[in-house]
Each structure stands twice: as C-alpha cells, then as structure tokens.
C-alpha cells in the first residue's frame, strides 16, 4: 500500500514537473541569448488553449501539441518584433505578453469550456506499464519524455555545438558578436521562437494531459515558477533539471498534504511552500555567489549596434 | 604568409585601394572622399585625432558599415565589403581597440567564435598553439578570458586574426594598453608578419610608434585626408600639426618648480580585493607636496581603480590615519565629506562614473560641486546658480557644447573630459586625484587638460595623476611611482628615471622578468 503511495506520488511529481521543465528549458535558451521574456505564463496559456482546440476539432492530440508549439512560438514572435525590431523594453513587453496571453486564451477558450479531448495513447506497449514499478518509467505521456530529452538536447546544444557557442556569445556580448559578423537579431528571434514553442507545449500539457479539458488560467502561475527556475538554475541545464524536480516535489507534497489529512498546518502554507523555497534558495545562491554572477551579461539589454 | 600571398606585388598592384570613400552620419560627414593605397607587405599608418574618421573608415574596410560613395579594390579587382565575413574571406583581419571578447568564455571558445569555419576543438587548439609558437607569443587556450591581463587579451585577438592567414591586418590603437616592452614585442610580431607579405593598417595617435614601425602614413582630419607621407622622413611634431590642423601648443610648465609643505599623505594603505577579479592594495604610501604633480604609472588592472576609489572615498579605509590632507586624517570619510575637506577626484570612466550621461551638464555640475559652490540650499537645487556654474566651466575650458542644458552623453569624449576636469578644477581643490585624464581625448583637448592640471598645481594644489600613458606622465609630473599588482614602487623623480626602468617596474617584480612571470601566474592561479 505504502509502496503504491510512493509510486503514485512519484508519478504525480513527474507530471507536475514536466510543464515547468519544458517552459524553463525554452526560457533558458531565450535568456542565454540575452533576452528576458517574462511572458512565459501567457505563452503557456495560448499554447494550452490552441492545443486543446486543435486536438478537439481533429481528435488528434499530436496535432494539438504541434499547434500548441506553433501558437506559443507565434505569440513569442509578437514579443520578438516589439523588443528586437522596435527596441521596446523587454520587461514591460514581457509582462504585457503574459497579460495578453491570459486574456486571449480566455477569449478563445470560451467556446470549449466543459469539452473533453481524446487522451494520448502510450508510446510504449501497454504491458510494460502494467506493473506499478515499470509504470514509473513507461507509463507517462509522450510529453514527459519530450521534456527530458529537450533538457539534454539543450545542454548538448549549448555546450558542444557551434551554434550553441554563438548563442551564448550573443547573450554574453552582443556588440562583439555583431562585430565578428553574427546576426544578433536573427539568433535572438530564433531563440525567442524556440522559447515560445516550448512554453506552448508546456501549456498544452495542462489541457491535453493533466486534465484533458480547458479551464481559464489553468496553468495556475507555473509560468512564473519556470522563470524563477531559470535563475535558480544559474542558467545551467543540469541544475535546471534538478531544480524543476525540487519544485515538483514541493508541489506534490502540497497535494498529498491536503488529500491525506496530513494538514497540521493550514493548506495555504503548503501551497506557498514552492514560492517560499524559491525565495530562500535564490537568496542563498546570491549570498554565495555575491560576485561573478552567472547571468548572461547582456540579459534584458536592448541590442543597439552602430557607433 | 607564404610568397603566394604576394599576388600582384611584382606588378605594383596595391593589396587594398580605397577610392573616394564617403560616409555621412546624421549631422557629421565622417569620411569625405578618402582614398588610400596599401601595398603588399607594407605597414601603413592611419593617423588622426579622435573623431577624424579613422574608426569609421576601418569599419567600412572590415564590412561592419557600408560607405555611401566610393569603391574598394582588392589586389586590383573591384570588391564590396558587404559584411565582416566577406572581408575575412578576402583575407582581411582586424584587431579591435576595444577587444570584442566574451569574458565568461575560454580563449579557445573566443577564437572559435571568430572563425567562419567550424573546426573541431582539438584541431583548433593545435592550430592555435602552432601560431603562438611561430610568433613567439604566450597564451593558454583553456583559460577563461576574465582572468587574463589586457596584453593577453590582445593576444587572443591577434591569434584569432592570424589563424585566418590574413593578407591585410587592421590594428586599431593596439598599444594603448600595453607596457613599452609588450608594445615592442607586438612590433616584432608585426614586422615579422609584414616581412611574410602581410599588409598592415596601423591606427594610432602615438607618433613615435608610427615613426618606429610604419613606412607610409595617411593622415585624416575632420573626415578628410590631409596628407600621405613617409613618417620616417618627418618629425612627430610636423605630423601632429597635420593631424590637428594648427600649430601644436605644448604644455607650458615653469622650468624650476619649488614645492611647499607635504599636503596629501597616504600611509600604509591596504585594502582587500573586491570580487574574484579585483586587485588588493598593499601597503601603499606616498606624499604629495603643495604644487607637486605626482604620477602613478602602470598597466591597466593593477589596482589603479581600487586606488582611486580608496583615495576618493568610494571605499573607506579601516583606519582614518591612512590618508591625510594637510594633517587631517580623512581615511574614514565618504566622498562628499572628503570633497568638503578639499579633495576632488576624477575617475577614469567618464560616462557612468564621473558623469551621468543622461543628465544635463548643469545637473552633472551639481552632483560634485553642490557643496563647494553652494549650488543647493535647504535641500533644493538653486538652478540659476547651477546653470551659471556649468556655463562658467563650459566657457573657461572651451567645452564644445550647445549649452549647460546639453546632456553629458551628447558631448564627445574629449569635450566631456574637459567639462569634468573643469568642474573639479574650478572648485579649486587642495588635492586633485585624476585617473586617465586624457584617455581617448584628441591632442588639442589633451594639451588643454594637461595645461589646466599644471596651472592648478602652480596655485599650490597637490595633484595625483594615475595614467597608463607614460609620455603623459613624463611630460606632466614632477615625481612618479609605478603600481603593479596593487603595490606601489619607490617614488622616483621624473628626469632621473628612464622609460626602460619604468617599463620594467610596470611589468612586475623590480626588473626581474622571470620573477614577474612567476608572480603573475601565481596571481592567476589564485583567481581562477
């Protein structure tokens, strides 16, 4: 019984962690290129509602994911045009994108409230997931595996590929990268689009997997946690993975504490735990790394070539 | 760098020829029909004051900007430098004045970024070591750039350019950050490159270097080409006059100067380093008498900024007695309190440290002169008084600005520096500390600034000048010491000390190069 409980808690943890991990992986790439896109929450919601709408109309959740990625990337590109082409303030534009995404998704989703979409079929033979222990490995939605693969791909891309090196260079010193002859704006557009696509997929995980239905603001602030997670991870993919699971465990504890009557503390306390821990850990990290910040040196600064 | 690179040399065809290059910026004609020829294997100087259009011109040659009119010819064939990649493809390499390096990355990664072809890391490293070896340069490809000295950083840029086997290498003010010995080593490398057939376009305002190194010089003034000459046949003075288009005024300084009593004393000042890349100050002591100009030489990053912060009060000392002004211990006072006591300081960085670039000149004047000039009362800024003080600075120091309401950022570097110096000097401080007073300032403005320093000293102020420009210190100062790794050398009298001696002190451990290398490595090992 207790073994079952542990396994089901772990499955929940993995499920809860996946969207944060996806969105944070995308945002990590964006921030590594020197752009701060605070609109993750908005892009997730746009992805969630678009994914749901397409999966509902086509009866194909795979098309839903694709559409969610495209919608996330499209909304990110709106942000990209404003901050890269027109040089708008990144913080203000990112916040606007977050609010815009909430509004737009509510509008689009109004007609889909209460509908249900078909679930994903497992990508592994069903026999594999029958045993509870094996279920831990083989019993998840394909998006879960996608998230894990993407973290590794991004880690490899940033560390070992030439374009990863260029992307880091653009985030580290945009003027130098420009003077060497790299297209700073082009690379940042690509990074922003990637970040948007990842946020879109992360959003669709809520509407296609966690609860296969649409509800307003169903991402429930996880986009903000993804943003904090990137800082928390010091812009390192390895730490991002660990950090995402750390938050995932805290959020699962909240659910189980509420459900099991293990609530000698008010449930609000458990609900606030991830956020409190985020603040605490960030404070600890910044106290330890007082100097030599790990942040990309050009993060959030507009690129202004010329004289 | 093989004879193959000398295509066209026999026929007398120029490696690069510019014809009528013109570039217009809003309000400024940066280049006005500039034409010049660089022959294969030639070291060609491009001379001019700041704002003469040298940087714009080389940016167009390197494809960073496009000319509005005019054409380029490469080895006799017309060509367009549409971007740096195209320029590199032709065989043009460039070493920038402000290094385009990525601080948080390794030397190897930095070099890889500058190459258009993707080369596997291991092969690239071997290639780098080969280039380093063949030009006798020292550099570790695995080091993180932020831990390197300025000279080492420049070597990265040079290696990056050399890996492409350039046929034309553009060097933008390369020695401004080097010790005389490092500069001489650089010249050796350049001469060797030229002997191998590589053309070099050498940009500098240091005339003695150009005389020592270059065969041809093109002089720009106000965007126009004013002369092409052989620097070996001309005096530095004549070239300087061509550059500024007027007779060069020299700083006039009374030949025999007498000094008053000790006015500013630093006694055993030590300060821990801030951050991983800071420099700790160790047991710094010196005395400046009234009327004396005391110079502090040294290669950038040896504690000059830390020293300025400690003297100005941005970082206070643990003991008040370490710094004293006319017998009053001020080591624990903050900048405003020190300013009240009569100590003014001008930091190296003009924009963002000495002045707020978005603020008007009036507001910038209020920031440091509010107490001594009574520009505020009861917490309110007296704007009439502040404006007239700013106007007075502009007028007495011939600052080219529209007026006191211009923003600091709208002024050219030289004019802003004149304004900042004027702002402090008009407060008639008892002690003036200046860092890099003429950094990036054109010859005319530099002379004006140096003259103002001399005049202030003549009125009995004690002055400390921190500079990397040895010529400046030797021309300006009465006494001199060298700062190296946060330690100050013995104080020497200018006129009794040779450039070589100072150069060795700048390079490290009192004239012992081996010990210097050892010590530098130990420092790096510590910071990594």
| pLDDT at B422 > cutoff 90 | yes
Q: Which of A78, A72, A105, A106 is CA-nearest to residue A94?
A: A78
Contacts of B83 in chain A (CB under 8 A): 181
pLDDT at A288: 62
Q: Is the dihedral of CA B456, B457, B458, B461 positive or negative?
A: positive
Q: Radius of gyration over alpha carbons of chain B, in Å?
A: 24
| pLDDT at B75 > cutoff 80 | yes
Phi, psi of B117 (to 5 degrees): -95, 140
Q: pLDDT by residue (tens digit) across B80-118? A: 988 888 898 899 998 877 667 888 889 999 888 877 777
Q: Which regions in chain A score pLDDT beneath 70?
A: 1, 260-263, 282, 285-293, 306-307
CATH number at residue B415: 3.40.50.300
As given in the structure block, the two tokens for residue A142 are 């394909």
As given in the structure block, the two tokens for residue B414 are 């030289």
In this structure, are B130 and B185 located in the same domain? yes
pLDDT at B243: 80
CA distances from B498 to A20, B415, B471 (A): 65, 33, 11
Residue for token digits 């802003």? B416
Phi, psi of B236 (to 5 degrees): -60, -40
As given in the structure block, the two tokens for residue B389 are 């003080």
- Rounded to the nearest integer, the mean pLDDT of chain B is 85
pLDDT at B9: 45
Note the pTM of the prediction, 2 decimals: 0.69
Please name every residue paired with B229 in a beta bridge, in sequence order, or none if there are none: B217
CA-based nearest residue in chain A for residue B105: A169
In this structure, are B54 and B115 located in the same domain? yes
pLDDT at A93: 96
Contact at CB, A173 and B118, closer than 8 angstroms: no
| Terminal CA-CA length for chain A | 69
Its domain, for residue B282, covers 262-497
User: Rounded to whole angstroms, how far apart are CA atoms A236 and A277?
Assistant: 19
pLDDT at B524: 44
Contact at CB, A173 and B112, closer than 8 angstroms: no
Q: Is residue B516 part of a domain?
A: no
Give the residue with greater pLDDT, B135 vs B50.
B135
pLDDT band, residue B179 (cuts 50/70/90): confident
Contact at CB, A175 and B102, closer than 8 angstroms: no
Q: Is residue B510 part of a domain?
A: no
Q: pLDDT by residue (tens digit) across B311-320? A: 999 999 989 9
Contacts of B113 in chain A (CB under 8 A): 165-166, 169, 177, 180, 182
Contact at CB, A181 and B274, closer than 8 angstroms: no
Q: Are B402 and B389 a contacting pair, CB within 8 Å?
A: no
- Complex ipTM: 0.74
DSSP 3-state assignment of B413? helix
How many CB atoms within 10 Å of residue A83? 25
Q: Is residue B511 part of a domain?
A: no
Chain A / chain B CB contacts < 8 angstroms: 54
In this structure, are B322 and B238 located in the same domain? no
pLDDT at A254: 80
In this structure, are B226 and B272 located in the same domain? no
In this structure, are B268 and B230 located in the same domain? no
pLDDT at B513: 47
Q: Please, what is the Cα angle at B521 between B517 and B524, to 5 degrees?
A: 145
User: Rounded to whole angstroms, how far apart are CA atoms A222 and A23?
Assistant: 9
Instruction: Specify burial of residue A1 (Cβ count, 10 A radius: 0-12, 13-18, 19+).
Output: exposed
pLDDT at A30: 97
Give the residue with greater pLDDT, B58 vs A306.
B58
| Pairing between β-strand B323-325 and β-strand B281-289 as defined by DSSP bridges | unpaired
In this structure, are B226 and B278 located in the same domain? no
User: Rounded to whole angstroms, how far apart are CA atoms A302 and B181?
Assistant: 40
Q: Which of B85, B103, B274 sits opposite A181 (nearest CB)?
A: B85
In this structure, are B324 and B289 located in the same domain? yes
pLDDT at A261: 65
Q: Is the dihedral of CA B402, B408, B409, B411 positive or negative?
A: positive
pLDDT at A289: 57
CA distances from B272 to A287, B269, B283, B481, B486 (A): 19, 10, 11, 21, 10
Q: How many percent of chain B have pLDDT more than 90?
A: 40
Per domain, the residue ranges of chain A are: 3-220
In this structure, are B366 and B447 located in the same domain? yes
In this structure, are B291 and B156 located in the same domain? no
How many CB atoms within 10 Å of residue A95? 15
Q: Which of A176, A181, A307 sits opposite B102 (nearest CB)?
A: A176
User: Rounded to whole angstroms, how far apart are CA atoms A100 and A83?
Assistant: 16
pLDDT band, residue B511 (cuts 50/70/90): very low
Q: pLDDT by residue (tens digit) across B363-417? A: 999 999 998 888 988 889 999 999 999 999 999 888 888 889 999 988 877 789 9
Q: Which of B478, B426, B475 is CA-nearest to residue B249?
A: B475
User: Rounded to whole angstroms, how far apart are CA atoms B12 and B440?
Assistant: 37
Q: Is the dihedral of CA B315, B316, B319, B324 positive or negative?
A: positive
Q: Which of B189, B218, B244 is the last residue of a domain?
A: B244
For chain B, what is the domain count?
Answer: 2
| pLDDT at B11 > cutoff 60 | no
pLDDT band, residue B523 (cuts 50/70/90): very low
| pLDDT at B70 > cutoff 50 | yes
Q: Which of B244, B271, B304 is the last residue of a domain?
A: B244
In this structure, are B345 and B453 located in the same domain? yes
Contact at CB, A162 and B118, closer than 8 angstroms: yes
Q: pLDDT by residue (tens digit) across B120-142? A: 888 899 999 998 888 877 888 98
Phi, psi of B83 (to 5 degrees): -160, 170
In this structure, are B291 and B152 located in the same domain? no
Q: Which of A168, A176, A307 sits opposite B100 (nearest CB)?
A: A176
In this structure, are B363 and B407 located in the same domain? yes
Mean pLDDT along residues B488-503: 84
Q: Is residue B167 part of a domain?
A: yes
CA dihedral A134, A6, A22, A104 (to 10 degrees): 120
As given in the structure block, the two tokens for residue A66 are 């694709």
Total number of residues shown for chain B: 528
């Amino acid at each position: 019984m207790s073994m079952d409980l542990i396994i089901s808690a772990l499955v929940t943890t993995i499920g809860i962690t996946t969207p944060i991990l996806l969105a944070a992986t995308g945002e990590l790439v964006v921030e590594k290129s020197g752009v701060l896109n605070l609109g993750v929450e908005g892009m997730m919601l746009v992805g969630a509602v678009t994914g749901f709408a397409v999966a509902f109309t086509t009866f194909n959740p795979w098309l839903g994911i694709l559409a969610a990625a495209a919608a996330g990337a499209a909304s990110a590109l709106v942000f990209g045009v404003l901050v890269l082409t027109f040089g708008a303030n990144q913080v203000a534009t990112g916040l606007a994108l977050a609010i815009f995404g909430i509004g737009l998704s509510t509008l689009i989703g109004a007609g889909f409230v209460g509908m249900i979409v078909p679930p994903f079929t497992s990508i592994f033979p069903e026999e594999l997931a029958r045993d509870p222990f094996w279920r831990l490995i083989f019993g998840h939605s394909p998006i879960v595996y996608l998230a894990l693969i993407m973290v590794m791909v991004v880690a490899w891309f940033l560390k070992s590929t030439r374009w990863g090196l260029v992307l880091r260079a653009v985030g580290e010193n945009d003027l130098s990268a420009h003077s060497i002859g790299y297209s700073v704006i082009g690379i940042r557009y690509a990074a922003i689009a990637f970040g948007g696509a990842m946020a879109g997929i992360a959003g669709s995980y809520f509407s296609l997997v966690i609860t296969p239905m649409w509800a307003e603001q169903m991402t429930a602030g996880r986009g903000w946690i993804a943003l904090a997670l990137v800082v928390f991870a010091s812009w390192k993919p390895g730490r991002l993975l660990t950090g995402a699971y750390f938050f995932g465990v805290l959020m699962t504890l909240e659910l189980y504490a509420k459900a099991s009557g293990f609530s000698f503390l008010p449930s609000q306390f458990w609900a606030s735990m991830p956020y409190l821990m985020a603040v605490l850990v960030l404070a600890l990290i910044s106290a330890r790394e007082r100097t030599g910040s790990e942040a990309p040196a050009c993060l959030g600064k507009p690129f202004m070539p010329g004289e | 760098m093989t004879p193959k690179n000398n295509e066209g040399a026999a026929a007398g065809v120029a490696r690069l020829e510019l014809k009528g290059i013109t570039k217009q910026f809003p309000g400024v004609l940066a280049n006005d029909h500039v034409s010049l020829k660089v022959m294969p294997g030639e070291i060609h100087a491009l001379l001019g004051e700041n704002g003469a259009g040298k940087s714009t011109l080389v940016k167009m040659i390197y494809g960073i900007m496009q000319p509005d009119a005019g054409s380029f010819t490469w080895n006799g064939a017309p060509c367009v430098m549409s971007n740096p990649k195209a320029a590199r493809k032709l065989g043009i390499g460039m070493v920038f004045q402000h290094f385009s390096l990525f601080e948080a990355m390794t030397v190897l990664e930095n070099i890889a970024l500058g190459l258009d072809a993707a080369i596997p890391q291991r092969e690239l490293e071997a290639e780098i070591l080969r280039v380093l070896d063949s030009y006798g340069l020292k550099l570790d490809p695995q080091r993180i750039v932020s831990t390197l000295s300025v000279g080492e950083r420049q070597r990265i840029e040079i290696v990056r350019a050399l890996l492409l086997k350039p046929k034309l290498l553009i060097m933008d003010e390369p020695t401004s950050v080097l010790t005389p010995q490092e500069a001489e080593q650089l010249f050796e490398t350049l001469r060797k490159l030229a002997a191998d057939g590589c053309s070099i376009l050498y940009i500098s305002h240091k005339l003695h270097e150009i005389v020592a190194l270059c065969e041809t010089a093109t002089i720009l003034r106000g965007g126009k080409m004013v002369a092409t000459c052989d620097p070996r046949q001309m005096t530095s003075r004549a070239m300087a006059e061509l550059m500024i288009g007027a007779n060069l005024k020299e700083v006039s300084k009374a030949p025999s100067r007498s000094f008053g009593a000790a006015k500013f004393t630093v006694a055993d000042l030590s300060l821990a380093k801030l951050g991983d890349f800071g420099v700790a100050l160790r047991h710094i002591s010196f005395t400046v008498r009234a009327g004396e100009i005391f110079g502090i030489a040294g290669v950038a990053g040896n504690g000059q900024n830390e020293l300025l912060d400690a003297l100005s009060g941005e970082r206070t000392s643990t003991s008040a007695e370490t710094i004293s002004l006319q017998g009053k211990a001020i080591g624990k006072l903050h900048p405003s309190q020190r300013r009240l006591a009569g100590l003014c300081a001008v930091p190296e960085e003009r924009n963002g440290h000495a002045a707020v670039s978005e603020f008007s000149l009036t507001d910038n004047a209020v920031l440091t002169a509010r107490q001594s000039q009574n520009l505020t009362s009861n917490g309110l800024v007296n704007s009439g008084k502040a404006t007239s003080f700013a106007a007075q600075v502009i007028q007495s120091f011939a600052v080219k600005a529209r007026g006191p309401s211009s923003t600091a950022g709208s002024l050219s570097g030289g004019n802003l520096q004149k304004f900042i110096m004027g702002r402090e000097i008009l407060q008639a401080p008892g002690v003036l500390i200046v860092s890099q007073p003429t950094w990036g300032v054109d010859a005319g403005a530099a002379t004006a600034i140096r003259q103002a320093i001399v005049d202030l000293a003549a009125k009995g102020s004690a002055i400390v000048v921190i500079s990397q420009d040895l010529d400046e210190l030797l021309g300006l100062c009465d006494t001199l010491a060298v700062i190296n790794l946060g330690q100050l050398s013995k104080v020497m009298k200018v006129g009794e000390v040779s450039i070589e001696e100072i150069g060795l002190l700048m390079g490290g451990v009192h004239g012992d190069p081996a010990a210097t290398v050892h010590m530098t490595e130990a420092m790096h090992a510590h910071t990594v």
